[in-house]
Amino acid sequence: AQSVTQLGSHVSVSEGALVLLRCNYSSSVPPYLFWYVQYPNQGLQLLLKYTSAATLVKGINGFEAEFKKSETSFHLTKPSAHMSDAAEYFCAVSDLRRRQGGKLIFGQGTELSVKP
Amino acid sequence: SQTIHQWPATLVQPVGSPLSLECTVEGTSNPNLYWYRQAAGRGLQLLFYSVGIGQISSEVPQNLSASRPQDRQFILSSKKLLLSDSGFYLCAWARGQETQYFGPGTRLLVL
């Protein structure tokens, strides 16, 4: 069965500092992996996705993530945090078995705070 | 382009009252549709998904039900709400195995 673990429910960084949000996955088949962002009282917005092409994936708002099969990781990074990056971030893996209806399995989320 | 709508945006209901939340998608056909619940301070819990009209799969036993009367319409219902049904309800759509796109959500408070 597939699963996702996000290390750290809360991460706090200073404005301008590196952002690193950790995600490890478990999958018996080559996974599709996603990062979503959720601002307060809003739905989830796709940041980026990995679908077995390039292992370094660039997304919106300056975020990127690197797929590392040997470490079963898909960590999200941004070189310089901005106040507007404060939000909740979710990592997800796609259940690729067709009979499962394309479900996503989400991590518990990491709340990112950015200090001025 | 595709858009997804949810209504109402906010709802306050007494315990024991019925519930109907609606989700509609525009700009695509035969999407997979999903209902999630997000309780305060917690992650997303998949409640139901549908791969076609009248086809509903339930992920967890609960007080809620879902229906898909039309290709791009997904409804979440309850006959009698419980306090534990409070939360933020999110609808999403996807084309097959691809990315899921989320609606703006409905905040439900059961008192």
Using a CB–CB cut-off of 8 Å, the residues of B that contact A are 32, 34, 42-44, 46, 49-51, 57, 88, 90, 92, 94, 96-105, 107
Answer yes or no: is pLDDT of A99 > 60: no
Which chain A residues are within 8 Å of B100, Cβ to Cβ? Answer: 34, 102, 104
With bands split at pLDDT 50, 70 and 90, how would you rate the model's confidence at A97? low
The partner residue sitting opposite B43, judged by closest CB among A32, A46, A106, is A106
Q: Which one-letter amino acid corresponds to residue B73?
A: Q
* Mean pLDDT value across residues B85-90: 94
With bands split at pLDDT 50, 70 and 90, how would you rate the model's confidence at A100? low
With bands split at pLDDT 50, 70 and 90, how would you rate the model's confidence at A50? very high
**Cβ neighbours of residue B9 under 8 Å, at least 6 residues apart?**
B104, B105, B106, B107
* Mean pLDDT value across residues A37-56: 90
CA distance B48 to B33: 8
**Contact, B78 vs B96, CB < 8 A?**
no
For the segment B45-56, what is each residue's pLDDT rounded down to a tens digit?
899 999 999 999
User: What per-residue confidence (pLDDT) applies to B101?
Assistant: 94
For the segment A55-83, what is each residue's pLDDT rounded down to a tens digit?
899 999 999 999 999 999 999 999 999 99
Percent of chain A, pLDDT > 90?
A: 72
C-alpha closest to that of B75 among B86, B59, B64: B64
Q: 3-class secondary structure for chain B?
A: CCEEEEECCEEEECCCCCEEEEEEEECCCCCEEEEEEECCCCCEEEEEEEEECCEEEECCCCCCEEEEEECCEEEEEECCCCHHHCEEEEEEEECCCCCEEECCCEEEEEC
Answer yes or no: is pLDDT of B40 > 80: no
CA distance A10 to A100: 31
**Contact, B60 vs B45, CB < 8 A?**
yes
With bands split at pLDDT 50, 70 and 90, how would you rate the model's confidence at A2? confident
User: What per-residue confidence (pLDDT) applies to B41?
Assistant: 67
Angle of CA points A25, A84, B23, to nearest 5°: 65
User: What per-residue confidence (pLDDT) applies to A34?
Assistant: 94
**Contact, A106 vs A5, CB < 8 A?**
no
* Mean pLDDT value across residues B77-106: 92
Contact B97 A41 (CB under 8 A): no
